[in-house]
Homo-oligomer: A and B are copies of this chain.
Amino acid sequence: MDCNVVDRLKGRGIIPSAHRVAIGDYVLRTIEHPSADQVWERVKTSFPVLSRATVYNTLNLFVRKGLLQELILAEGKVVFDPNVADHHHLVEEDSGIIYDIPWDAVQVSGLDTLTDLEIDSYQVVARGRKRRH
């Protein structure tokens, strides 16, 4: 699963252009939940000729192809998570940092009794903060 980015793009039918690989090299490995503009700022440092539109196009492409998950959890802006397996989230209000919570750490029951709802997916969104050990 953690093979190189070129192969992961090809595996989803995405032509691995230099720009896309540069973006993927960052966004498919990070645990930072960056926004699109944060991805742009970051990737530009190592790959200077890069327009904003390309970053947005590429991120949206990755989402469509299942390489990224789009999250709308906090501060009115969309962030991206390369962890596309089901999992829950903790939003740290002060810092805006978002942490992943493993799926198995939390159990949710009762959704199946809501017979008037057809549920495709769900997650727990928690607000709070990470303890400074």
A113 and B105 in contact (CB under 8 A), knowing A73-B72, A74-B72, A128-B118?
yes
Shortest Cβ gap from A113 to chain B (Å)? 7
Interface size on A, residues (CB 8 A): 38
Of chain B, the residue at the smallest CB distance from A108 is B108
Within 8 A of B (CB), among A104-122: 105-111, 113-122
- Copies of this chain, whole number: 2
- Judge whether A108 and B124 touch: CB under 8 Å: yes
State in angstroms the CA–CA spacing of A110 and B133 once bound together: 20
Within 8 Å by CB of A72, from B75, B118, B129, lies B75
How far, in whole Å, are A110 and B120 apart by their CA atoms in the complex? 22
